[in-house]
Amino acid sequence: MTVTRDLDAGIAALDPLGADAVMRSLPQANIAADTAWLLSRAVHVSQHAAGIRDVAPARAALRDLGMLTASLARHTGQDIAPPAVEAAMLHLGEVADEIPRETVYSYSTRNPRGPRRRSFTDTPGEHRFIDEVTAASDALDIAIEHCRHLSAAVDKHEADAGAGIVHHQLRAFGGHLLTVKRHLTPQYFTGRLRPYFPALTIAGTTYYAPGGAQMPLLVIDVLLLSQAANGELAAWFEQYLDDNATYLPPHHRALIDAARGVPGLARLANRHPYLRSATGTLIDDLLRFRLPHRQLARANMAIRDEGSLGSGGYTTDALDQLIAVTKQARALLTPGAPRE
């Protein structure tokens, strides 16, 4: 059973703000840096938000209003939405039970295919980016559904079988992001796409734009790595989860909340040898993804101004920390590791 893919496919089909025509024109407005058009359209479509009372339409509306507002912020340099738009986004966030702006889910799994596709630039690179991030998220959706049950495996055969499915999906996830790395140069991503992912301040709170830290891989991280780190690294990881879980939909937030309260698979495998090969395979998958991801992030940061942050509000130091957490978890599985 997949959860997110089914829910988000229904959201992608919706146009509750009547914004299809506006969103088709968004790339041209961005090319022209037409701030008057962007402002008028954002205010106009926001008028339809007040009547939205259901979750799925609210999430679809946040997708469209968020992209319009992000485009306006990109061209004006102002991170505060117009008052009418801010009020609409706050209402939609409350109904959606999510943050009051677009998320990585909005941009990918909730984004229609074909002529209704929402994009900032309508360039082949951006369409490939959306397609690959969507496919990567769909793979994670399947991985989560199987990974969440691994702790209940009763023997090595059951654990290895379940981990085999998760492993296949994590490899698919990594493959899709490798395609992004191969086809989107740092110059294209940083120069063309990254400006459309600004932080926005809404009702005095800063919300970061869609970014890798907000992908559902965060759920896998918790399922595998919960309580595996120690000392300052453990405190950093808990704060990282606090900062980013808020950008996930409620069903993923609930999984994270539940998993944070118990030992993750790495610590369980430290105690139960029959879980070690399965858990080791999956932690190796995380490292196999994270090391090239850090390399790609460094390549992008190298051509940005000193002190720049990624769209999720981090520097590459966060990836260093995540790798350290993942390696501490891997160390729990080694033959000489202290057993609990």
pLDDT digits (tens, 9 = 90+) for 223-246: 999 999 999 999 999 999 999 999
Q: Can you tell me the distance from the alpha carbon of 293 to that of 174, in angstroms, rounded to the nearest whole number?
A: 9
What would the CATH number be for the domain defined by 141-184+210-331? 1.20.58.480
CATH 1.20.58.1320: does it fit domain 4-122?
A: yes
| 276 to 48, 50, 151, 322: CA distances (angstroms) | 53, 52, 11, 21
Q: Are 264 and 227 in contact (CB under 8 A)?
A: yes
Q: 4-122 and 141-184+210-331 share one CATH topology?
A: yes
Give me 119's structure tokens: 């994009």
Burial of 39: CB neighbours in 10 Å, binned 0-12, 13-18, 19+: middle
pLDDT for residue 336: 63
Residue 80 in 3-state DSSP? strand
Instruction: Measure Cα distances from 136 to 42, 139, 253, 322, 325 in Å.
Output: 30, 5, 19, 19, 23
CA gap 68, 120 in Å, rounded:
9
Give the residue ranges of the chain where pLDDT is below 50. Answer: 1
Phi, psi of 204 (to 5 degrees): 85, 0
Q: What is the pTM of this model?
A: 0.91
**CA 39/CA 22 separation, integer angstroms:** 12
Domain locations along the chain:
4-122, 141-184+210-331
User: Contact at 8 Å (CB) between 162 and 150?
Assistant: yes
Quote the pLDDT of residue 303. 65
Look at residue 159 in the predicted model and tell me its pLDDT: 97
Position 316 scores a pLDDT of 72
C-beta of residue 282 within 8 angstroms of C-beta of residue 173: no
Q: Residue 20: what pLDDT? A: 98
